Amino acid sequence: MPLTGPLCGPSRLRPQTAACWEEMGGGGQLTEPGSGRGGIGNVYTWEEVQRHCHRNDQWLVINRKVYNITHWAKRHPGGFRVISHYAGEDATEAFAAFHPNPKFVQKFLKPLLIGELAASEPSQDRDKNAAIVQDFHSLRTHAESQGLFRAQPLFFCLHLGHILLLEVLAWLIIWSWGPSWTLTLLCSGIQAVAQSQAGWLQHDFGHLSAFKRSSWNHIFHKFVLGHLKGASANWWNHRHYQHHAKPNVFSKDPDVNMLHVFVVGEAQPVEYGIKKIKHMPYHHQHQYFFLIGPPLLIPVYFHVQILRTMFSRRDWVDLAWSMSFYLRYFCSYAPFYGIFGCVVLISFVRFLESHWFVWVTQMNHLPMHIDHERHQDWLTMQLSATCNIEQSAFNDWFSGHLNFQIEHHLFPTMPRHNYHLVAPLVRAVCEKHEVPYNVKTLQQGLTDVVRSLKNSGELWLDAYLHK
């Protein structure tokens, strides 16, 4: 989450705050955090903490310490939404999940500390399973002791190398033999592979999982997402960490905000049906998904959103990185295709990439449980919203190791080459507590996307007609 990579944007930062921002990673602006109400010796009940969950009044708990984040949330590098998703809640597990160096960040929390939970209060809020929380904490501690959070830089360097090689190969084909229709299609296909693989690689840097030093992750994140893909690192952080903080939770996970184009899960279709909401013929959504889902997400929706975000937030650094991609692209291909031809070429590449991206990302989440906030513990929440796809050399490469979506969501800062090592340990904890651990074939994962849309559409139609 940014609790997005964090609790601490660019603009004139003092050395200490700048260090905190580098550790967390993100955009936005910082000013001195305001101190909370009350004294540090104060004690609170969960009932008192839970009352402070509004936009202008936000507390949260980390390791039984109570923090007033009301003013800090507005200056959070990942945007106020991410950290606000845990207002009035225990954010201990989320804090540990998103901060590669929690001890370093703790000193920046001191000005926000207003007290702690009363001794009579449990460490977990609401109905969270204390045994699951404890066992997951032990699992994380064991994974850390086994070095599973240590990255192999060579793995990521080789991955970056094969992306650059594909980019060069695509250009050399046109430079050597000319822009015929056949070679243009081949060039587009190679570029789409490079763009998709760059998407998985920027994901690693964005989660601070490739290098020990956060600053190196940030630099490579901007290079890959900005210069190699023409997008915005800060936009990605603000959006993606919300998804990790509360996956498949309406109003908190932007990935299930379908803008009334689709209804998903089991609760939303019934709610829309009862209210007679019909922005689209939702009982046909599994069919029109093929027309407006995979083809348009990246080339249209994401492209417009990224540009709007960079300009509205005056994020000139990310804009410069993004423009460097288009400058390089047009200089490379304009001599063969002209300006208009370059626009058509990159649009077609985005079209191909978008299909790849949508199917890989949705097969892990869309068929899973999608609902309103239920305040579950970290393991239960992530397992209800994610599933895995069987491991194979192709599946690992094709999905950027996001076939291990469960492990990635539980440990977002863990390098992806270690997911297969922690997976048996995760499965054991799930079996102990009878938490479903879903693994599918690639074909089943893809078909379940369509099946889930069809089921949701039928639920909407039934509620629309009969309730």
Task: Report the pLDDT value the prediction gives residue 106, as an integer from 0 to 100.
Answer: 78
- Read off the tokens for 267: 């609760």
Mark the ranges of the chain whose per-residue pLDDT is less than 70. Answer: 1-40, 77-79
Annotate 240-266 with three-state secondary structure.
HHHHHHCCCECCCCHHHCCCCCCCCCC
Contacting residues for 86 by C-beta, under 8 A, at least 6 apart: 1, 3, 60, 94, 245
| DSSP state, residue 63 | T
Q: Are 40 and 28 in contact (CB under 8 A)?
A: no
Task: Report the pLDDT value the prediction gives residue 3, as an integer from 0 to 100.
Answer: 38
Alpha helices in 37-152 (DSSP H): 46-50, 70-73, 80-84, 92-98, 102-109, 130-145
- Read off the tokens for 17: 């705050």
- Determine phi and psi for 58, rounding to 5 degrees: -135, 120
| DSSP state, residue 11 | S
Task: Report the pLDDT value the prediction gives residue 29, as an integer from 0 to 100.
Answer: 34
Burial class (CB in 10 A: 0-12, 13-18, 19+), 385: buried
- Read off the tokens for 69: 């984040």
